[in-house]
Structure 1
Amino acid sequence: MEKVLVTTALAYTNGPLHIGHVRSTYLPADVYTRFLKMRGVDAIHIGGTDNHGVPIALQAELEGKDPEEIVEKYHEMIEEDLERLNIHFDEFSCTCREFNPDHVDMTQWFFKRLYEEGYIEEREVEQLYCPECERPLPDRYVEGVCPYCGAEGARGDHCEACGRYLEPVQLKEPKCVICGSKPEVRRTMHLFFKLSEFEEDLKKWLKSNDNLPKNVRNYAIQWVREGLKDWDIVRDLDWGVPVPLERYKDKVFYVWFDAPIGYVTFTKQYCNRTGQNWKDYWFSEDTKIVHFIGKDIIIHHALFWPAMLIGVGATLPYTIVAGEYLTLEGEKMSTSRGWVVWVRDFTKLFPADLLRYYLIVVSPLTRDADFSWEDFRDRVNNELVANLGNFVYRTLSFIYRFLDGNVPEAETDQEIVDRIKETHRRVTKHLEKFRFREALTEVLRLSKFGNEYFQEHEPWKLKDEDPERCAEVLRGCARVVKALAIMLAPFLPDSAEKMWQSLGYEDSVHDVDWEEALKDVEAREIPKPEPIFPKVTEEDLQKAKALLPEESGESEGPDDEYVSLEEFNRLDLRVGEVKEAERIEGSDRLIKLRIDVGDRTVTAVAGLYPTYEPEELVGRKVVVLTNIQPKEMFGVRSEAMILAVGDEPALLTIDESKREVEPGEQIR
């Protein structure tokens, strides 16, 4: 029997969960696993927390605590946050060496296998050393100026401004974050994983695996095209999994080497508990491994981790589902500014299912989404309360009041049977393809159909005029309620259970087979119905908004969302023809373009690669905004902006089917 192993990116224990974490990773994985289990698939959901690495060691040092204290505190908070949202795991553990020695053993097992196969190499490297603190400085112990974009405050591993991965020795004007002194460069021995040797294997896997989403495949292939570099897998720290070589006893593994191995550790712990063999999951062609992650860690899961799996002969992922970002009221979330909604704060105000619903329907997982309190209220009140909740409550209330509380014995209209069948087919197909928003939208369409059917057949009139027909109408509506409860169970577990119990069933909807949604509802007595969803009131909304600071620090207020006609008319939008295009050295996405806009040729820098190759842009007529403030990016002065749509940009081009359009023509 085929097994499906679902994993979620391990939550890093340097803080509790906010709604952005939930939307990209944990919620879709929970929905998918619940769906598989209802279909009778042998599926398990594995997750936990990631506990090593420089950020935790640094935070502990700054707070004067042991790293274990930081880990224990936030592991418990994260686990509680996930439980609040009814996100279920078959195994939820941690990678902490103090609390989980099994993970130390598994990480060292992986390393030894790779070492024996010749995929590990010793190299001398340059390392920053703080003479004041008398110790080496791994990545985040150093800050300085980014060598690529010149931004200040770049960390030793990453620049937030341009997104480049860095090494501490690359930083200009480096300083120790503990004492502020200038470090010196020293040489030391490190261990490297020979990622470059897997370049062809990874390229073949990425191109041949049709199950990988475009945002994952395209981003990973871009890295492979540029040439994979071998990967330094040790750090000069005392917090992490020890390297099992005597001459490296003062070093630990890099957190991104040991963290994904946690998936295997936790699987083994689950199997030990349930009497199974963990290798049946990780070394078997009969297992589909599905990783749910955020898009910021695509490279780790689509390149580094598969290479490690190939190196030890393990099963490669069936797919990697990478959720895009979630902003808050139009702005990037920031924990430092308090511009986030924490899970625990949300669940103090609203039932978990309201958040689950909104985060799924607000946008497809493959696109960035925005959380807005006003939109949240409107969707809950209009879609859950007025549509779904209204249909369930009015159907069951009518049965309770006028049919002695019994779902009647009667035939069901074929129209209802066909509609349920088609909805079930569509929802199933969408969930199989990880299209969660589309699947949930289909379920809501069925409840809308139910409302329209109820209204059209007017059972309040039929109860006196034609009781037999009234029974048929209400039994049909009850059958829709049953189908809704089953198909909503993966998405809204509490609400689906309420609906199921409202039909008089004594078992749990989560123990029901997925195909049961196609079967007729039983004639049985039902309890007194209660509303399924609470309405979000203005008072609720004000309490919710009070969770955010009055000023986010990035906008001047709601008036900025609107542009007057006078302001719009000041935009100089023109037709431009691309004359030259070339990649910008040092950037993953930027292309430099020279564009003829009629009275002059301007330079524009645009993030179009790898969606567009530079050579395919030459000759295209595009929409150009020419009167913007010039900005320098990667040493190139950008004087204009070209218009495109979406995260995988689609250029707005000029259709010349009616007449030839010349560069410089105004767009009005």
Structure 2
Amino acid sequence: MPAFKHLKEGKRKYLLIPVMPTPNGGLHLGHLSGPYLKMDVLARAQRRNGSEAAMFFGSDGYESYMNLKSWQTGKEVTTLCNEYHERMRSDLDALNIAYDAFINPLDTAYHEDFKTFFTTVTGELVDKGVTAPRPEKYLYSKEDDCFVAGCWILGNCPVCGSATGSYQCEDCGTQYRPMDLISPTFRKGDHPLSSIDDRELYLVISKKEELLKHLETMKIGAEFMEIATSYFNHQGRYVRITNPGKWGIPWSMENSGIPHVLFTYTSLYFYSLYCGELYKKKYNAAVNPFDIDADVITVASFGIDCTIPYLVAGVGLALESGTYRPIDFLLPNHFFTLENSKFSTSRGHAIWGNDIINKTPVSSDAIRYFLVWKNPENEMGDFNVEEFIHFVNDELGDQLQSVLTRAWTALNGQPVGSISEGLAEKLEGLLVEQNDYLTPPGFQLKNSSLPLKEWISIGSGLSFDADPAYWWLKGFSLLAFPIMPGCAISLWNLLGHKGNPVEKDYFLPTPVQVETMLPLYFKKISFEDIKPALPATLFTNEYK
């Protein structure tokens, strides 16, 4: 049987961990376009190539913004966490983002084990002498029994001066202490405030040079590296481990008169370790993938607002622990906007994953392909409604669907002949190129669509008879699978294969279901078709 000459079968193991979303709303296309779609495409590409790839993550129910959502809605925090966790699951599922586990840490199946794991790992760091208490000053509302920190504090960033809140600036990406904010105010209003002097637990990074070298090995982009180095310049070698509050995983501080919980942003690394434990259990692995001797490649993805938690805190915690490895590869991205305005759960300026699929004729493949093409990994991206409609109608409805239909109708049910050497070589080259784009550290999600586009262009220029049509369709299934798994799997199965497209089975001759009509994978759409999924914020005079 023929085989690819240069395409090597993958034999690696991957644990993929996208950032843990806060369950204060669903997942909109701004969320989905970054960490979640990225990890799913990476996983499918590696499986297609013969490697193993598993995805584990969960919601971050202990994030302080859950208190704000509770105050705004009048609902209990736990109720909100559970409701929005399931809503986020539906958004992930709508875009065909597959995962091994998407856990809710408040679920009884995980709750106690989750808290115990976090406190145990934190205790190990304390015992190793790599932490230290630092003085901290907070504003406090006795009337509300509330510290003006986390979701309750607003002000201006001490680094760039932009309006900000909580512990991180979305404009410059830095992390700061509440006491450093310029002109701090209490989100609940003009209530009497007092000042409290206390202390918080911090990690002390002694291996800064090793940390920066690890980031360089991962080929982290210059803008994200600048955020990390700026943090060291402004905050030194300290990384927050605790913050004041009652909602979260409690941590007792000596000589402190206030309640403390583990800081959820720094704890994202602890959460990753916990996902490693879940991986170990499910796949009967000898050790956690983050153990020093583990042979699993770990990858995390996140937005620019989590740069410090991953690049500084996560890598720093691993290096200082001496027990665990840092995450092997970090894949950050910039923000994704909607009509040039930031997606926003609080403003309702969002298109939710479940809505765009279940309230409109748009397929998950169409939205995935568009989001890959517009992906904000190197710069901010924007979802423009008119551009999306043209993309679906022109590139998918007119070009791609017509090529697929023309190739399918050329099949005649006769035994398949061999593929031409030129077509086989071209496909192999495009698969090698796409695999390179979808393998860290050279991961480039946006560029991964280029080999697929070229293969579609080749199909557009072919005068199909049965044999080239068969081999072109199978090649399309392989190249499309990471990006558009729905139509790729459907075609692969109609062409006589079982399961998902894999490179090693490409040259196997298969019985084609020629009596089956090819589905209409990509329907043309209008503004009225997608209007049910669009937010009210878009209905200005421009759209009426």
Q: TM-score range by the shorter chain?
A: 0.7 to 0.9
C-alpha distance in structure 2 between counterparts of 1:424 and 1:374, whole Å: 32
Residue 260 (1) aligns with residue 269 (2)? yes
Which residue of the partner structure matches residue 5 of structure 2?
none
The residue number in structure 2 matching 1:502 is: 494
What's the counterpart of residue 437 of structure 2?
430
What does residue 149 of structure 2 align with?
Answer: 138
Q: 2:238 matched to 1:230?
A: yes
Alpha-carbon distance change, 132 to 538 in structure 1, aligned in 2, over 3 angstroms? closer
Please give the alpha-carbon distance, in whole angstroms, between the structure 2 residues aligned to 1:146 and 1:226: 12
What is aligned with 2:61? Answer: 51
Displacement of 1:29:
0.5
Q: Give how far 1:18 is off.
A: 0.4
- Report the Cα offset of residue 215 of structure 1: 4.1
TM-score by length of 1: 0.73
Is residue 181 of structure 1 aligned with residue 191 of structure 2? yes
What is the CA-CA distance between 1:263 and the residue it aligns to?
A: 1.5
Look up the match of 2:504: 515
Evaluate the alpha carbon distance shift between residue 26 and residue 407 of structure 1 in structure 2; reply closer, same or farther with a 3 A threshold.
Answer: farther
Q: Give the whole-Å Cα distance in 1 for the aligned partners of 2:158 and 2:436.
A: 48
Range moving further from structure 2, 19-28 or 278-287: 278-287
Secondary structure in structure 1 of the residue aligned to 2:342: coil
Aligned to 2:379: 367
Match for 1:94 among 101, 104, 117? Answer: 104
> What letter corresponds to residue 37 of structure 2 in structure 1?
L
Worse-superposed segment, 409-418 or 47-56: 409-418
Per-residue deviation, 1:237? 1.2
Corresponding residue of 1:345: 355
> d(CA) in 2 for partners of 1:97 and 1:425?
42
The size of the alignment, in residue pairs, is 526
| Ranges in structure 1 where 5+ consecutive residues have no aligned partner | 460-472, 559-668
- In the superposition, relative to structure 1, how do residues 271 and 398 fare at CA in structure 2: closer, same or farther (>3 Å)? same
Q: Between Structure 1 and Structure 2, whose CA radius of gyration is higher?
A: 1
Query: Counterparts of 1:481 and 1:74 in 2: how far apart (Å)?
Result: 40
Instruction: After TM superposition, give the deviation of residue 498 of structure 1 in Å.
Output: 1.7
Match of 2:399 in 1: 387
User: Of 480, 491, 500, which aligns to 2:483?
Assistant: 491
Write out per-residue CA displacement over residues 119-159 of structure 1, whole angstroms, 9 at most, x where no aligned residue: 122233222122333454333323356667776x6435355
Change (3 A) 1:149 1:283: closer
8 Å Cα contact 2:138-2:147 kept in structure 1: yes
CA distance in 1, matches of 2:513, 2:151: 63
| Aligned equivalents of 1:217, 1:134: Cα separation in 2 | 39
**TM alignment of 1:74-113, pairs within 5 A:** 74-96=84-106, 100-113=111-124
Partner residue of 1:123 out of 131, 134, 137:
134
Q: What SS class does the counterpart of residue 16 from structure 1 fall into?
A: coil
Q: CA RMSD in A?
A: 2.8
From the superposition, tell whether residues 183 and 160 of structure 1 become closer, same or farther in structure 2 (CA, over 3 Å). Answer: farther
Contact 1:94 1:262 in 2 (8 A): no
Cα offset for 1:544? 5.4
Among candidates 438, 456, 464, match of residue 447 of structure 1: 456
Instruction: Name the aligned partner's letter for residue 343 of structure 1.
Output: G
* 1:612-623 aligned within 5 A: none
Change (3 A) 1:330 1:521: farther
Q: Distance in 2 between matches of 1:199 and 1:158?
A: 21
Whole-Å separation in 2 of the counterparts to 1:168 and 1:522 = 64
Match of 1:396 in 2: 408
Matched ranges for 1:252-331 at <5 A:
252-284=261-293, 286-313=295-322, 314-331=324-341
Deviation of 1:304 (Å): 0.7
Selected match of 2:33 from 12, 18, 23 = 23
Residue matched to 1:463? none
Partner AA of 1:414 in structure 2: E
Q: Which amino acid is 2:491 matched to?
A: M
- Secondary structure in 2 aligned to 1:47? strand
Distance 1:147 1:539 in 2: 43
Aligned to 2:472: 480
The one-character-per-residue Cα deviations of 1:474-501 (angstroms, maximum 9, x if unpaired) are 2112111011112211211111122113
Q: Deviations over 1:195-237 (max 9, x none)?
A: 3x23232233234x15434443343244345563423322221
Distance in 1 separating the partners of 2:280 and 2:169: 40
The 10-residue stretch of structure 1 (256-265 or 43-52) with the greater mean CA deviation from structure 2:
256-265
**Is 1:358 paired with 2:370?**
yes
Letter in 1 for 2:99: F
Deviates more, 1:414-423 or 1:316-325: 414-423
Give, in whole Å, the separation in 2 of the partners of 1:415 and 1:154.
Answer: 57
Distance 1:430 1:158, change over 3 A: closer
Q: CA deviation at 1:547?
A: 3.9
1:538 aligned to 526, 538, 541, which one? 526
> 1:319, CA displacement in angstroms?
1.5
Q: Distance in 2 between matches of 1:149 and 1:6?
A: 33
In structure 2, C-alpha distance between the alignment counterparts of 1:319 and 1:148, rounded to whole Å: 28
8 Å CA contact 1:241–1:258 kept in 2: the answer is: no
Amino acid at match of 2:244: D
3-state SS, counterpart of residue 537 of structure 2: coil
1:59 and 1:136 mapped to 2: Cα distance? 16
8 Å Cα contact 1:97/1:241 also seen in 2:
no
Scaled by the length of structure 2, the TM-score of the pair is: 0.88
The whole-number CA distance in structure 1 between the counterparts of 2:496 and 2:296 is 38
* Aligned residues of 2:335 and 2:376 also touching (Cα < 8 A): no
Q: Is 1:212 matched with 2:204? A: no
Instruction: Report the Cα offset of residue 266 of structure 1.
Output: 2.2
Q: In 2, are the aligned partners of 1:140 and 1:156 still within 8 Å (CA)? A: yes
* 2:408 maps to amino acid: L
Aligned mates of 2:383, 2:432 — CA distance in 1: 30
The offset of 1:528, in angstroms, is 2.1
The letter of the residue matching 1:362 is: K
Secondary structure of the equivalent of 1:12?
coil
Gaps of 5+ in 2: 1-10
Q: 1:231 to 1:436 in 2, by over 3 A?
A: closer
- Deviation by residue 1:423-480 (Cα, 9 ceiling, x = unmatched): 22222222223222322221121122122112xxxx6xxxxxxxxxxxxx32112111
**3-state SS of 2:207 partner:** helix
- Rounded Cα–Cα distance in structure 2 between residues aligned with 1:501 and 1:44: 23
Supply the distance in 2 between the matched residues of 1:83 and 1:227 (Cα, whole angstroms). 40
Q: Which residue of 2 aligns with 1:199?
A: 208
Which position in structure 2 is the counterpart of 1:590?
A: none
Describe the superposition over 1:288-319 as per-residue Cα deviations: whole angstroms up to 9, x where unpaired.
21111112211210111111111222112222
The one of the two structures with greater contact order (alpha-carbon pairs below 8 A, sep at least 6) is 2
